[in-house]
Amino acid sequence: MFFLLSKTLGVALLPINFLVELGLLSLVLMVTRFATFGRKLAATTLVLWALAAFSPLGTWLLYPLESRFPPWDPSRGAPDGIIVLGGSVDPDLSAVHHTPVVRQAADRMFAPVELARRYPNAKIVFTGGSADLISSDAREADWSAVLLEDSGIAKDRLIMERNSRNTYENALFTKQLVAPKPGERWLLITSAYHMPRSMGIFRKAGFDVEPYPVDWRMGRRADLFTFTNIGEDGLGRTDMAVREWIGLVAYRLMGRTADLLPGPAKD
């Protein structure tokens, strides 16, 4: 049920979709006896769209997510395993074109390649199946395996989890697959903005992992006061941040994380 709601109601509430829905509603109202309200709603929608597209709104929403966990400190020594969360490779497009198609968050795929070279004894686990509401046979793990092998990681080092549909299932299925032993150190690679929710979910699942954030979407603190002249960029950041905050709230309400905004573990 949660997966269905996330792919329907959750998608409808994303800023780009929600603003389109408000715009269509305002047009409908304009040809009814609520025309005055429809015009006001249209004006409000246009202002909200401009804020989402050109103001630092998306950056403000991303900043507390991306700054929550610092870069991983290698001084503690080599990890026993490295977990890579899916979300980079489009399995459907890859199946159509018979080659891995990376659509976003490419850093998630670069990082394990470098770490695999640096730590030759570490296991490499990729977790990701299909996030489609109506799933096909295409699985992200299958095509990601091709990409990782082509990048120089030996096939016998790779463990591919291909059935998960979201981050919650990433954590559960990966833990079942690798059965981490006490004292082992596992890294978790995902986008910096996605790291708080991911860490909260893995902790709740009883899988102690160390955050390895990548794929930052903003730079310095000064970006919090920077406007953009490319609306697509601003809308993308706002959409991404709101999606993540909705996920954090939903997972907290369902008890899948112990905190609304999980942070670094206290020593």
* Claim to verify: residue 107 and residue 235 sit in the same structural domain: no
* Claim to verify: residue 163 and residue 58 sit in the same structural domain: no
Q: Is 15's pLDDT higher than 90?
A: no
pLDDT for 9 equals: 63
Q: What is the pLDDT of residues 180-238, one digit of tens each?
A: 999 999 999 999 999 999 999 999 999 999 999 999 998 888 889 889 989 899 999 99
Q: Is 133's pLDDT higher than 70?
A: no
Is 131 domain-assigned? yes
pLDDT for 220 equals: 82
* Claim to verify: residue 142 and residue 165 sit in the same structural domain: yes
H helices within the chain, ranges in order? 2-7, 9-12, 15-30, 35-54, 57-66, 91-97, 107-118, 140-150, 167-178, 195-204, 231-253
Tokens of 151: 């990048």
pLDDT for 267 equals: 57
189 bridge partner residues? 84, 212
* Claim to verify: residue 178 and residue 120 sit in the same structural domain: yes
User: Is the separation of the CB atoms in 188 and 211 below 8 Å?
Assistant: yes
Neighbouring residues of 176: CB distance < 8 A, sequence distance ≥ 6:
none
Is 40 domain-assigned? yes
User: Is the separation of the CB atoms in 122 and 81 below 8 Å?
Assistant: yes
Q: What is the pLDDT of residues 137-171, one digit of tens each?
A: 889 999 999 999 999 999 999 999 999 999 999 99
Q: Is 266's pLDDT higher than 80?
A: no
What's the CATH code of the domain at 132?
3.40.50.620
Buried b (16+ CB within 10 A) or exposed e, 161-186: bbebbbbbbbbbbbbeebebeeeebb
User: Is the separation of the CB atoms in 116 and 124 below 8 Å?
Assistant: yes
191 bridge partner residues? 214
pLDDT for 12 equals: 73
> pTM (2 decimals)?
0.91
* Claim to verify: residue 43 and residue 150 sit in the same structural domain: no
42 bridge partner residues? none
Neighbouring residues of 110: CB distance < 8 A, sequence distance ≥ 6:
214
Neighbouring residues of 256: CB distance < 8 A, sequence distance ≥ 6:
168, 200, 201, 204
- Number of independent structural domains in the chain: 2
Is 261 domain-assigned? no
Least confident piece of the model among 43-52, 59-68, 226-235: 226-235
Strands 186-191 and 209-214: parallel
Average pLDDT over the chain, rounded to an integer: 92
* Claim to verify: residue 55 and residue 173 sit in the same structural domain: no
For a pLDDT cut of 90, what percent of the chain falls above it?
Answer: 84
The whole-number average pLDDT for the span 126-137 is 80
* Claim to verify: residue 206 and residue 140 sit in the same structural domain: yes
For residue 237, the enclosing domain spans 2-65+229-253
Q: Is 5's pLDDT higher than 60?
A: no
Spatial distance between the Cα atoms of 75 and 174, rounded to a whole number of angstroms: 26
Place of tokens 């091709």: 146
With both helix axes pointing from N to C terminus, report the angle between 107-118 and 140-150 in degrees, rounded to the nearest 10.
50
User: Is the separation of the CB atoms in 248 and 260 below 8 Å?
Assistant: yes
* Claim to verify: residue 58 and residue 81 sit in the same structural domain: no
Tokens of 226: 């920077």
Place of tokens 């490295």: 82
For the chain, give the number of residues. 267
Q: What is the pLDDT of residues 103-115, one digit of tens each?
A: 999 999 999 999 9
Is 28 domain-assigned? yes
Neighbouring residues of 259: CB distance < 8 A, sequence distance ≥ 6:
200, 252
* Claim to verify: residue 8 and residue 80 sit in the same structural domain: no
Is 45 domain-assigned? yes
Is 33 domain-assigned? yes
Which strand ranges, in their side-by-side order, compose the sheet holding 81-85?
A: 158-161, 123-127, 81-85, 186-191, 209-214
* Claim to verify: residue 105 and residue 33 sit in the same structural domain: no
The whole-number average pLDDT for the span 51-66 is 95
* Claim to verify: residue 52 and residue 17 sit in the same structural domain: yes
Is 265 domain-assigned? no
Is 91 domain-assigned? yes
Q: Is 33's pLDDT higher than 80?
A: yes
Q: Is 116's pLDDT higher than 60?
A: yes
For a pLDDT cut of 70, what percent of the chain falls above it?
Answer: 94
* Claim to verify: residue 36 and residue 109 sit in the same structural domain: no
